[in-house]
Copies of this chain bind each other. A is one copy, B any other.
Amino acid sequence: MSKPQVWTWEPNSNSGKPLFALCQKGVEFDYHYVNMTDFEHHSPEYLARNPAGTLPTMEHDGKVFTESTPVCEYIDAAWPDQGPRMVPPDPRERYRMREIGRRITRHAAALSVLGWHNFVGPMARSKTQEERDRIIARIPTKERRIAWQTAMSATFTETQLAEARAAVGRGVMEMEELLTQNPFLAGPAYTIADLDAFANFYSLPMTVPEYANKEKAPRYIDWLIRIYNMPGTMEAFGLARSLARRAFTLKAELEAGRQPVQVTLAEVQRQDAEAKGGGASR
Contacts and interface: CB of A to CB of B under 8 A. Distances in A.
A248 interface: no
Nearest to A102: B67
Contact of A95 (B70, B94, B98): B70
Given A67-B102, A70-B99, A78-B92, 17 more contacts: A61-B92, A66-B99, A67-B98, A67-B99, A67-B103, A69-B98, A70-B95, A70-B102, A73-B94, A73-B95, A73-B98, A74-B91, A74-B92, A74-B95, A77-B91, A77-B94, A78-B91
Contacts of A91: 74, 77-78
Interface string A43-60: 000000000000000000
A39 interface: no
A70 B93 CA distance: 11
Interface in A59-99: 61, 63, 65-67, 69-71, 73-74, 77-78, 91-92, 94-95, 98-99
Contacts of A95: 63, 65, 67, 70-71, 73-74
A113 to B, nearest CB: 15
Contacts of A66: 99
Nearest to A141: B170
Contacts of A71: 95
Nearest to A63: B92
A70 B92 CA distance: 10
A135 B71 CA distance: 41
A73 B66 CA distance: 20
23 contacts: A61-B92, A63-B92, A63-B95, A65-B95, A65-B99, A67-B95, A67-B98, A67-B102, A69-B98, A70-B95, A70-B99, A70-B102, A71-B95, A73-B94, A73-B95, A73-B98, A74-B91, A74-B92, A74-B94, A74-B95, A77-B91, A78-B91, A78-B92
